[in-house]
Amino acid sequence: MGIDAEVQLRSAVTWEQKEIDTVLERLRNTFGGPNDNPHYREWGGNVCLSDPCILEICLNSRYYGPKYTIGDFGSHCSVLRFLRDAYPGLQVFYSGWPNYVDEFTPEFEAEVWAHFVKHGHTEHRKDL
């Protein structure tokens, strides 16, 4: 039991299924799928057709943040940066729902990366 990591892509307009499939296919082509990279299971997403429209993409591992130092932030960071750079018109959020939801800004990335580099998983492991 733990906090699962996911990405949320937020858009001011409603997504068409073709657009969602394109995002997921780009992730599959860039980072691999279950046959290419055992770290990832099949890329999938849930769409919340609200305002804003949200595409939730499960990262298939645990969340990592300064208060929850379990997940693989190095891998998460590469996916988040890819999405932020590939889709500049969207807001990209890093989520360990329901406890942690932060926009993946360069400042947030730098803060969490600095914590990851300094502490890694040591804070979690000392409690084991």
Which tens digits make up the pLDDT trace of 51-101?
667 788 888 788 888 888 888 899 899 999 999 999 988 899 998 877 788
What's the pTM?
0.80
- Which residue range forms the structural domain that includes residue 54? 4-125
How many domains does the structure of the chain reveal? 1
CATH value at residue 48:
3.30.70
- 3-state SS record for the chain: CCCEEEEEEEECCCCCHHHHHHHHHHHHHHHCCCCCCCCCCCCCEEEECCCCEEEEEEEEEECEECCEECCCHHHHHHHHHHHHHHCCCCEEEEEECCCEEEECCHHHHHHHHHHHHHHCCHHHHCCC
Least confident residue range of 1-10, 66-75, 87-96, 106-115: 1-10
